[in-house]
Amino acid sequence: MEKTNLLYEGKAKKIWETKDPDLLISEFKDDLTAFNGEKKSSEEGKGALNNKISTELFKLLNNKGIPTHFVEILDDNNMLHKRCEVILIEVIVRNIATGSLSKNLGIEDGKTLPFTLVEFDYKNDELGDPKLNDQHALILELVQYQDELDKIRRVAREINDILKPFFKTKGLNLVDFKLEFGYDKDRNIILIDEISPDNCRFWDINSGQKLDKDRFRQGLGGLKVAYEEVLNRILN
Ligand code: C5P
């Protein structure tokens, strides 16, 4: 499958059209951004690692009955997937408090939450991705019906119920992660975007070491080695 027009360039991916109107190609970039684009860098090989990690996780979820946009991996940096209409909600799933949850609500960093928390952020860079409740999402017409928000929340929990024990067997705590959903051509809500250390937090169960984009956000170094470690653990 060949790329035709560049449809969109985001912070971490370029999205290309193909000759098939129902299929797009995501090209995973090496660029790194944090704090809504204020901190920028690049790490050679990061895009390919995220493409491979996302591929493995989409396959795992597809096999467990979670519909995703994934079709196939094309090469190091390119993934073929269904064209979907993006729902402008960032779905954040949290098992352990850290990041903005600890900062905003004063919950102790590293505290295991009494139950899995699912939050919605408005996917809007200009506004800095503010928190959303269901009424905000309906007023903004990000979806049409409350049912759709309920479904997104339910599927996000199902994904956590698959990924959390999977990563536990790999010696990693799945601390939190961000998901995106979209409508496919039949108007089904399916999982889109990527699942990678760019949008998940992974902590080594034994050492507590951070194996995700916090290495860049917090200036810890060793980002590529950490992403390689995540991929190796997924594959082994
Ligand atoms: O920063 P915060 O603690 O809210 O992030 C929660 C989770 O969502 C983290 O895993 C982070 O990588 C992810 N996230 C993301 N994109 C954003 C905001 C958060 O992937 N715009």
Cβ 88 under 6 angstroms from ligand 1: no
Query: Mutate which of 13, 107, 176 to test ligand 1's pocket (most atoms within 8 Å of Cβ)?
Result: 176
The pTM for the full model equals 0.97
Whole-number pLDDT of residue 36: 86
Q: pLDDT digit string (tens) for 29-41?
A: 999 999 988 999 9
Q: pLDDT digit string (tens) for 106-142?
A: 999 999 999 999 999 999 999 999 999 999 999 999 9
Residue nearest to atom 11 of ligand 1 (CA): 199
Cβ–Cβ contacts within 10 Å for residue 97, how many? 21
Enumerate the β-bridge partners of residue 90. Answer: 121
> Can you tell me the mean pLDDT for 210-236?
98
- 18, pLDDT greater than 90: yes
Ligand 1 mean position, distance from CA 132 (Å):
14
Looking at the chain, the whole-number percentage of residues with pLDDT higher than 90 is: 99
Do residues 93 and 159 lie in contact, with contact meaning Cβ atoms separated by under 8 Å? yes
Whole-number pLDDT of residue 44: 98
Cβ 178 under 6 angstroms from ligand 1: yes
Cβ–Cβ contacts within 10 Å for residue 21, how many? 9
The first and second tokens of residue 181, run together, are 């959903």
Whole-number pLDDT of residue 208: 98
Give the DSSP letter string of the chain.
Answer: ----SEEEE-SSEEEEE-SSTTEEEEEE-SEEEETTTTEEEE-TTHHHHHHHHHHHHHHHHHHTT--BSEEEEEETTEEEEE--EEPSEEEEEEEE--HHHHHHH-PPTTPEEEEEEEEEEE--GGGT--EE-HHHHHHTTSSS-HHHHHHHHHHHHHHHHHHHHHHHHTTEEEEEEEEEEEE-TTS-EEEES--STTTEEEEETTT--B-STHHHHTT---HHHHHHHHHHHHH-
Query: Mutate which of 116, 119, 177, 178 to test ligand 1's pocket (most atoms within 8 Å of Cβ)?
Result: 178
Whole-number pLDDT of residue 193: 98
Cβ 201 under 6 angstroms from ligand 1: yes
Whole-number pLDDT of residue 203: 98
- 170, pLDDT greater than 90: yes
Q: pLDDT digit string (tens) for 63-101?
A: 999 999 999 999 999 999 999 999 999 999 999 999 999
d(CA 32, CA 49): 13
Nearest to 196 by CA among 103, 96, 70: 70
pLDDT band of residue 1 (cuts 50, 70, 90) is confident
Residue nearest to atom 19 of ligand 1 (CA): 178
d(CA 24, CA 16): 6
Whole-number pLDDT of residue 64: 98
Ligand 1 mean position, distance from CA 196 (Å):
11
- 200, pLDDT greater than 90: yes
d(CA 236, CA 222): 21
